[in-house]
Chain A
Amino acid sequence: AQRVTQPEKLLSVFKGAPVELKCNYSYSGSPELFWYVQYSRQRLQLLLRHISRESIKGFTADLNKGETSFHLKKPFAQEEDSAMYYCALSTAGGTSYGKLTFGQGTILTVHP
């Protein structure tokens, strides 16, 4: 069975400070990892996925298979980054058909 853990429920930083949201996973196969974000009064939306290895809104995340982690990082946080962030794992491929397993989420607050 797969599991995603986000150890921090709340994270507060000041504008311009670096931010790192932690995500650890357990899965015996080869997972796809995602970060989803939910801004206030908006729907859940995809922020980035490890396969694309791109930077979105200044955020990056690297899949570390040795540490089974997929931490989300941004060097200089902005107030508009304040939101709920979910790390999610997909077991797409084989018979799994892309079920997403989510972590509990981290509320990021960026203070001015």
Chain B
Amino acid sequence: DAGVTQSPTHLIKTRGQQVTLRCSPKSGHDTVSWYQQALGQGPQFIFQYYEEEERQRGNFPDRFSGHQFPNYSSELNVNALLLGDSALYLCASSLVGRGEQFFGPGTRLTVL
């Protein structure tokens, strides 16, 4: 089991563009959470998906949206990119209702 995988590793975009990040959960996990980690900060919760629905959302604008597929993989979409969206985006998987989450290596997004 490769654990949680994320693609791409790095991404460079310009302001106003849109981006899609992808995540495959650890085998057997059904819940995917996304976090944003700015430089020097702890991860901040964006949202969580279970049964292909957004179950909980953090304090992020609607420009951030997501999707979960029947195979439990997930996408994070960010529209109208701002310079402040530059960060490491982490995906974590877990079993529903469990606090223990397993993290992927992250996608480093740079917005110019």
Contacts of B41 in A (CB 8 A): 104-105
- In whole angstroms, what is the CA distance A87 to B18 when docked? 32
Most buried by A among B33, B44, B101: B101
Q: A46-B101, A86-B42 are in contact. List 16 more A-B contacts (CB 8 A).
A: A43-B104, A43-B105, A44-B90, A45-B102, A97-B31, A97-B48, A98-B98, A99-B33, A100-B33, A100-B43, A100-B45, A100-B92, A102-B35, A102-B42, A102-B43, A105-B42
Residues of A within 8 A of B (CB): 4, 32, 34, 36, 43-46, 49, 86, 88, 90-93, 95-105
B102 touching A99, Cβ below 8 Å: no
Q: Using Cβ atoms and an 8 Å threshold, which residues of chain B touch A100?
A: 33, 35, 43, 45, 92, 99, 101
CB closest residue in chain B, given A44: B103
Q: Which residues of B contact A91 (CB under 8 A)?
A: 99
Cβ-closest chain B residue relative to A86: B42
Return chain B residues, CB-CB under 8 Å to A101: 45
Residue of A nearest to B44 (CB): A102
Q: How large is the interface on B (under 10, 10 to 19, 20 to 34, 35 or more residues)?
A: 20 to 34
CA distance A21 to B11 in the complex (A): 34
Residues of A within 8 A of B50 (CB): 97
A102 and B101 alpha carbons, distance in the complex (Å): 12
How far does the alpha carbon of A71 sit from the alpha carbon of B44 in the complex, in Å? 21
Query: How close is B50's CB to chain A, nearest CB, in angstroms?
Result: 7
Q: How far is the CA of A97 from the CA of B104 in the complex (A)?
A: 19
What are 29 inter-chain pairs, A to B, with CB distance below 8 A?
Answer: A4-B42, A34-B100, A36-B103, A43-B103, A43-B104, A43-B105, A44-B43, A44-B90, A44-B103, A45-B102, A49-B99, A49-B100, A86-B43, A88-B42, A90-B100, A92-B99, A93-B97, A97-B48, A97-B50, A98-B33, A98-B94, A99-B33, A99-B56, A100-B43, A100-B45, A102-B44, A103-B42, A104-B40, A105-B42
